[in-house]
């Protein structure tokens, strides 16, 4: 599910303050599968009995899973009507994402500037993911190139 306050139609339509969001609930199976695929065999992502004895009280998602979802949200949002390319992202992990916990991911455009050398708009983003209790589990920033063609 994606909700948007403004859908970019063309690169020139990007506006500071534009927001887009999505919500996801990660199952135990999805967490274990993703962790395996990215080579993360930490038992926090695979072994329920082990994870229950930790400070988390159960399985948690690995960091690359949440950051991938956040980056994927930008690609999905901008590539619906324009061409886009991710250039850089930085994230800070604030709280663990537990299995079966609903997470809301949201990005906001904080700057957009046309760059002739890139042939498009350099768009700066600030984002966060929050859990069901409204706690920030991840914060981040990113830069993407939005253009008519790649």
Does residue 84 fall inside a structural domain? yes
Does residue 46 fall inside a structural domain? no
- pLDDT at position 8: 52
Which two structure tokens, joined as six digits, stand for 40? 């993360």
Per-block mean pLDDT, blocks of 10 residues, the chain (150 long) = 50 86 97 97 97 97 97 95 94 97 98 93 97 97 93
Does residue 126 fall inside a structural domain? yes
CATH number (domain holding residue 66): 3.10.129.10
* Spatial contact of 44 and 54, defined as CB atoms under 8 Å apart: yes
* Spatial contact of 11 and 23, defined as CB atoms under 8 Å apart: no
Chain position carrying tokens 């969001």: 21
Does residue 6 fall inside a structural domain? yes
Of 94, 24, 131, 55, nearest in space to 44 by CA? 55
Chain position carrying tokens 């690359």: 64
Does residue 34 fall inside a structural domain? no
Range of the domain at 141: 2-25+61-147
- Note the pLDDT tens digit of each residue in 65-103: 999 999 999 999 999 889 999 999 999 999 999 999 999
Does residue 121 fall inside a structural domain? yes
For the chain, what is the mean pLDDT? 92
């Amino acid at each position: 599910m994606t909700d948007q306050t403004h859908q970019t139609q063309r690169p020139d339509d990007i506006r500071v303050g534009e927001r887009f969001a999505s919500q996801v609930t990660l199952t135990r199976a999805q967490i274990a599968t993703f962790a395996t695929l990215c080579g993360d065999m930490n038992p926090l992502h695979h072994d329920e009995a082990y994870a229950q004895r930790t400070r988390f009280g159960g399985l948690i998602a690995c960091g690359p899973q949440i950051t991938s979802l956040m980056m994927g949200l930008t690609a999905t949002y901008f590539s619906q009507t324009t061409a886009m390319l991710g250039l850089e992202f930085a994230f800070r992990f604030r709280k663990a994402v537990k299995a079966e916990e609903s997470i809301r991911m949201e990005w906001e455009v904080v700057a957009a500037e046309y760059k002739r050398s890139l042939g498009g708009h350099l768009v700066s983003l600030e984002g966060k993911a929050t859990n069901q209790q409204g706690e920030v589990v991840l914060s981040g920033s990113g830069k993407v190139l939005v253009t008519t063609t790649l």
